[in-house]
Amino acid sequence: MSETTHGTSRRREQTRARLLEAAHEVFGEVGMDAASVEAICERAGFTRGAFYSNFESKDELFLALVTRLAEDKLDEVAGRVREIGPDDMTDLTALVHRVVGASFGAKMEPQLISEIRTQALRDPRMAQAYLVWQSAMRERVAGIIGHVVDVYGIRLRLPVDDVAQLLVDVSDDTCVRATIEGRSAAEIGTVLNDRLGRLVGALEES
């Protein structure tokens, strides 16, 4: 790759990242329906041309934002798993509490998840994109669980893929409900830790 091509690619990545950050702020303030491309561009400091050079539509931008935030959190969780040694592994429930932590929902606001579900119910194109995103999430979570099972010899009552789907579903439901109840981010993390810990404990064979 030439220096010119590399520089262009890097600028494009930076532009895309700034648009995603601006979208995160605007979506969080007014929701997806009320958020306009113009408002996102203004917040990021770019023109509409820069926006459409990176995203075909606001829907695509929204999905890219949720995907990036979810992948960042899964990367963090995977990193925590790799740092755990045999002496730290007392049981699977304890592992969940250590790995998930109170920051599981950081930046992955339940409002964003609810927004994409609402759009998926309205728009078949968003529905398909949502299903693809959920499948990717499940695969990432299954990979983390599979690593733990292989390294520590844990036996589960269900296949890894089914356990991963349960964890994703319970995480989403818990975060949304706790948010509706008006709980703080720290409280949501505590409730989520408790529910996931109990679920995993029930799924682990003794």
pLDDT for 32-85, tens place per residue?
A: 788 999 999 999 999 999 999 999 998 889 888 888 877 887 787 777 777 766
| Contacts with 85 (C-beta within 8 Å, 6 or more apart), sequence order | none
Distance CA 84, CA 99 (A): 9
pTM of the model: 0.71
- The CA distance from 177 to 188, in Å, is 9
What 3-state DSSP class applies to 156?
strand
What mean pLDDT do residues 10-31 have?
Answer: 89
- In tens, the pLDDT along 133-156 reads 888 888 888 888 888 888 778 889
pLDDT of residue 109: 64
Beta bridge partners of 156: 204
CB atoms within 10 A of CB 33: 12
**Local structure of residue 107 (DSSP, 8 states):** T
What is the per-residue pLDDT for 85?
Answer: 64
Tell me if 147 sits within 8 A of 99, measured CB to CB.
no
Report yes or no: 142 and 161 within 8 Å, Cβ to Cβ.
yes
Beta-bridge mates of residue 204: 156
pLDDT at 62: 85
Where do the domains of the chain lie, and which CATH numbers do they carry? 1-55 (1.10.10.60), 57-203 (1.10.357.10)
For 5, other C-beta atoms within 10 Å of its C-beta total 9
Furthest-apart CA pair in the chain: how many Å?
59
